[in-house]
Chain A
């Protein structure tokens, strides 16, 4: 049964609002009766099993697909896929500034803006590197900066650290929190990793197996290795079964 989620009222309209959203691929029902909203500046985590419709939710928010039922209202959003999709014909810096160039900025101007963010986020020594020279963790950081430089109010992260080892994941989770503190945005993070969602996000939703629907909500921003995190993790995993 779907859980309708009350969200704390704020004066600003939500950055993302999903109202009884359903979605189908032909006869395959992927999402059913999904309702939630994300406030401006909030980081929302979505966890669930493979195939439960998490990535479809991001596609709906990004406007890449239309819902079969219900309504999706969202501010412009940039997507960071699980694969970093860095382009080997561009340097790390040129990869990061592609959204600026897509918006019509000249290359030099786009590079200058990307450089500022590279420097702020500790990536300046990788700016001129070829993509094949970068480690998995650095590639994901560059991909995140590329998403940030789309300068959309909403960022959609689709299992961005899924292919990394545990140590690199932890480092990147901390780095992501710092980056978001420096460049605040509304964030929707889809992940298999319940702990990652509870550490990085303000709020975490659990999505049931297909057709995905929201079955539990937990508050996030919990310290690693804390008892509260362990309890919240247990409740979310129980709901996902």
Chain B
């Protein structure tokens, strides 16, 4: 069972080294690929120094394009399963290993690491406290995605996922460059893939800062809802190859 763990990174020189070390420790068998999404800092150099493969996009293309690069690599290099996690240190690699276990056991095609699979535990969780605007966004996306897919999702924007080859084939062909997380879930469910959420523990960010200001959040939410609506009318694709 060959496994690829890829890490999309955009200006994450401060945290990328620890993230790589963490993945190595928890998933010693896995190959690691860092996808540098056109960073202007030393992300590529830092990652290379850690001895992992780095795919450097020549200019910033957005998270979706970076993730798709990872899926494309996994598909072409014949990996059996793959996983990705954020480069800012929010995602402990031990949790990624749990997601991968679900895929390896063939209980799901795509597994999402959810910060709050139990909605009641949300407020009590000490690990992660979302801001007000974020909470609204989370609620809106949760509602619309559940409506669109008729499947319950709690952490719609989670960047911690594990997938098998069916997902690699689908995502390397179709992946929205600007609305990666939500649209991909909708797409996967529409294409009849088994998508599963697994509750995971997440940490505070160790480097960088969140890009979301209130205004941006509002626009992000609006865009997300439009994207979901349009996505409902997309034609279904042929069954992706296994």
B is a partner of A: no
